[in-house]
Amino acid sequence: MPSDDVITAVATAWGEAAIAIVRLSGVGSVALADSFYRGRRPLADEPARRMALGVMTDGTSVVDEVLAVRFERGASYTGEESVEIHCHGGSAAARGCVDILTDAGARAAMPGEFTKRAFLNGRMDLAQAEAVLGVIRARSDAELASSGRALQGELSSRLMELADDLTELSASIEARIDFPEDVDDAETEEFARGIVCIKNKADILLERCRVGLTLRNGVRAAIAGRPNVGKSSLMNALLGSERAIVTDIPGTTRDTLDATLVHRGLSITLVDTAGVRDVPDFLGDAGMIESLGVERSRSAIKEADFCVLVIDASEGPADDDMTAAMSTHGKPAILAANKCDLPPAEPGAVSLGDFAREINVSALTGEGMTELKDAIFELAFGSSAASDGLMSTERVVNVLASARKCVSDASSALEHACGVDVAGSLLAEAAEYIASPLGRDASEELLDEIFSSFCVGK
């Protein structure tokens, strides 16, 4: 599907840098570049994919000395005839080249338009195109590896394999339903075995995609607890920097504060909260401000994926600890018993609830910081290995979950003799869900939504 216009954009980041790359793609890119490129010979006469030294001119004067390379249709990123011009870094030279090219009729590319063309020209499927964004945005090795696997086509081939299995099984079921009375027990059992096998594959893929999504999105962990237990100190100790203000005056932190760290490849956004307690009336205006902070803390906790409930292990449990613990209800939580450098208080009889882990920490000495980060990591991934992650999006995880539901419904339908045909059509429906992330029938709106989140030049 050749595009009838030539698009151009700077593909590198703006700002001071060694080089900047200007891209051109579409039929006529080489001729357009040749109107301004002067080298030993025109680019059209240079071998494809070989850098040539020359200058870009605006017709009268030289804009920049450049290296230029042409790509042939079918052998470029977009699949179209393309040119890359490597000029000097900084914005001016690249801007100058793009201006010349757009004045001569090239169109400034939209965000993600090169990758969109690569998709439309069959150079990659939609799952791979989305993985490109994952690679660009990766903040850690684990995220990069999970995006890289998807970009290399591992997600696509797993999806295709599963869709094929589903189509095949639904076809063999459907071939039998013209004569449902003939479907004997042995055959039903064989279908059931096929479904179990698919279900297992779908579970593994779904889990790998969930891991990839968690790596991509990162997690938010709210640091909760009553005032003065050391939440801000703990946040600073986890970050290894003095981000939050720490004092011994209860109520110092009045607003929530975010900061992100990367632990074992997982990006963890910590949210320091003002702390939750019943604010005493005698505090007057200060109390009113603190109450607003308490409200913000509650909403920060609601928005978080997990909570770290901090208590002061050197003091006995207080009523306010209970109030704070209540505010974390419904979230997976870790109990951090802080100030373990001080003599511990007598153990109290009250229980603050159920915690995934209970860890003794000291924000002062740094004890327990790695255990705490590990605990957050384990809450995020459960028993799955982060190293198995396949970069995906909410959309992919949702369609996989829908497909998974169809498959288990098909399995229940099969248990009823009359449900054989229902099982067949549920499996066919699941196959459609599974294939959708590849984007074969993606609507124009969906494509726009996906590619508009890319940067210009990609």
Ligand X SMILES: Nc1nc2c(ncn2[C@@H]2O[C@H](COP(=O)(O)OP(=O)(O)O)[C@@H](O)[C@H]2O)c(=O)[nH]1
CA distance 284 to 410: 63
Query: With CB under 5 A, what is the number of residues at the site for Mg ion?
Result: 3
In angstroms, give the least distance from the CB of 90 to Mg ion. Answer: 43
Of the two residues 217 and 269, which places its CB atom closer to Mg ion in the complex? Answer: 269
The C-alpha torsion from 227 through 377 and 141 to 84, rounded to 10°, is: -70
**214 near ligand X, rule: CB under 6 A:** no
Residue 112 contact among Mg ion, ligand X, none, beta carbon within 5 to 8 Å by kind: none
- The total of other beta-carbon atoms located within 10 Å of residue 390's CB is 27
Q: Are 121 and 79 in contact (CB under 8 A)?
A: yes
In angstroms, give the least distance from the CB of 252 to Mg ion. Answer: 5
Of the two residues 112 and 227, which places its CB atom closer to ligand X in the complex? Answer: 227
**232 near Mg ion, rule: CB under 5 A:** yes
Positions in 175-204 near ligand X (CB under 6 A) = none
Give residues with Cβ within 8 angstroms of 406, minimum separation 6: 426, 427, 429, 430, 433
Positions in 271-330 near Mg ion (CB under 5 A) = none
Which of 91, 95, 85, 49 has its CA nearest to residue 65? 85
CA distance 341 to 361: 8
In angstroms, give the least distance from the CB of 91 to ligand X. Answer: 43
In angstroms, give the least distance from the CB of 234 to Mg ion. Answer: 9
Among 160, 261, 364, 446, binds ligand X (CB under 6 A): 364
Positions in 229-288 near ligand X (CB under 6 A) = 229-233, 246-248, 252-253, 275
Whose CB is nearest to ligand X? 230
Positions in 244-273 near Mg ion (CB under 5 A) = 253
DSSP run (H or E) holding 307? strand 306-312
Query: With CB under 6 A, what is the number of residues at the site for ligand X?
Result: 21
Give residues with Cβ within 8 angstroms of 365, minimum separation 6: 341
* DSSP 8-state class, residue 79: S
Among 78, 338, 392, 393, binds ligand X (CB under 6 A): 338
Half-sphere exposure of 341 (CA within 13 A, CB side): 9
Q: Are 153 and 128 in contact (CB under 8 A)?
A: yes
**327 near ligand X, rule: CB under 6 A:** no
Of the two residues 264 and 298, which places its CB atom closer to Mg ion in the complex? Answer: 298
**419 near ligand X, rule: CB under 6 A:** no
Q: Are 193 and 173 in contact (CB under 8 A)?
A: no
In angstroms, give the least distance from the CB of 355 to Mg ion. Answer: 21
Binding site for ligand X (CB under 6 A): 225, 227-233, 246-248, 252-253, 275, 338-339, 341-342, 362-364
